[in-house]
Amino acid sequence: MDISLQYFDGCPNWTIAAERLAVIAAERPGVIVSRQLVESPEDAEAIGFRGSPSILVDGRDLFPDPSAAVGLACRIYATPSGFAGAPTLAQLREAISAA
């Protein structure tokens, strides 16, 4: 399974997502996590980037939000303890298992 972590440098939350994805990759042989730096608004538009961090499995967003604007912005996730800049480890495990 290929997981892509899309992010831009101005967002601090992508590192949290990267750490959580590293835990999952260590737990699940065959999971490959790559990072995709989105450098400009033009790049964001070209790939339909809806905020940092975005997490895709085999090219599909694990947490799709069609109402989110395309562009260089930090993304917000609804978690059991409120809104956060990245999904929880449990949310990631569940979404990856369902993918």
Domain ranges of the chain: 2-98
- According to CATH, the superfamily of the domain at 2-98 is Glutaredoxin (3.40.30.10)
Q: What is the pLDDT of residues 4-28, one digit of tens each?
A: 999 999 899 999 999 999 999 999 9
Contact 8, 39 (CB under 8 A): yes
Residue 66 has pLDDT above 90, yes or no: no
Q: What is the pLDDT of residue 49?
A: 95
pTM, entire model: 0.93
C-alpha span between 70 and 18 (Å, rounded) = 21
In degrees rounded to 5, what are phi and psi of residue 97? Answer: -65, -35
